[in-house]
Amino acid sequence: MIGGDEALPSGTWRVHRGGAGRPLLALHGFTGGGAEFGPLTQRVGAAWIAPDLPGHGGTTAPATFTAAVDDLARLVGAPTFDLLGYSLGGRVALALAAAHPHRVRRLVLVGASPGLASLGERARRRGVDAERAAQVEAAGVADFLAAWQAQPLIATQARVDAPTRDVMRAVRAGHTAAGLAASLRGMGTGAMPPLWDALAHVSCPTLLVAGAEDPKFLAIAQRMFERLPRAEVWPVPGAGHCAHLEAPARFAERLGAFLADD
């Protein structure tokens, strides 16, 4: 994939592009970057568009859900496109699909959530994310990431293959404390508008992916399945939260087949 800066009225986006075919917008998770999809582009044929989300890498656009959704719709350009999102990127992808239902042809969500339904839950989570933002500002990116990656939810990334881990390390080296803090405050789960009620209006075929070893997000996927009109749930054997990179061959095969269906 080739990365480059693309200017929009809100700011500059660093966008990684590669491949050919139908456009596929791919959105990474918190502390990740668009370049992490590079290994998958070699397995799945599509015109990949993988931006660094606000607060990450070379993107300087504001870290808010509303701004991100509007900008991403502009970045793709094509009238319709396929959409893939992981974790934070999955929440943004779902918001994009809800805001532009006629543009998203097929939707793939990996370890994703429609947000927190109650005001109390969102307020508590905003408090947690504010504490994390203060931690990254005080400790710096390296120390914060060491603690972040030690969490059980993230620790399963240790099974990611060595070449992809090298890409992930390079991506994280480009982050700033200010950027990650802004993402936590503006795009954390507590800041996200809840989308549970919007699921009924996401009419495109949707693949809900969760690692079989990620029970929290597998349960969320099952709850989403009950509300989405055209969804299926895929528990990925031998994978945790980062299923698309922990089991890349299995994921690429299923993704390719799902996107190939008319």
Please tell me the distance from the alpha carbon of residue 119 to that of residue 212, in angstroms, as a whole number: 30
Please tell me the distance from the alpha carbon of residue 138 to that of residue 133, in angstroms, as a whole number: 9
Is the Cβ–Cβ distance between 218 and 109 less than 8 Å?
A: no
Name the DSSP class of 17. E
Q: What are the tokens at 30? A: 């918190």
Q: What are the tokens at 1? A: 């994939």
Residues with catalytic roles: 87, 214, 241
Element (H, E) at 24: strand 23-27
CB atoms within 10 A of CB 220: 18
3-state secondary structure of 58: coil
Q: What are the tokens at 201? A: 């209006």
Please tell me the distance from the alpha carbon of residue 254 to that of residue 248, in angstroms, as a whole number: 10
104 burial type by CB count under 10 A (0-12 exposed, 13-18 middle, 19+ buried): buried
| CB environment 11-41: b (16+ within 10 A), e (fewer) | eebbbbbbbeebbbbbbbbbbbbbbbbbbbb
Closest CA to 224 of 212, 214, 234: 234
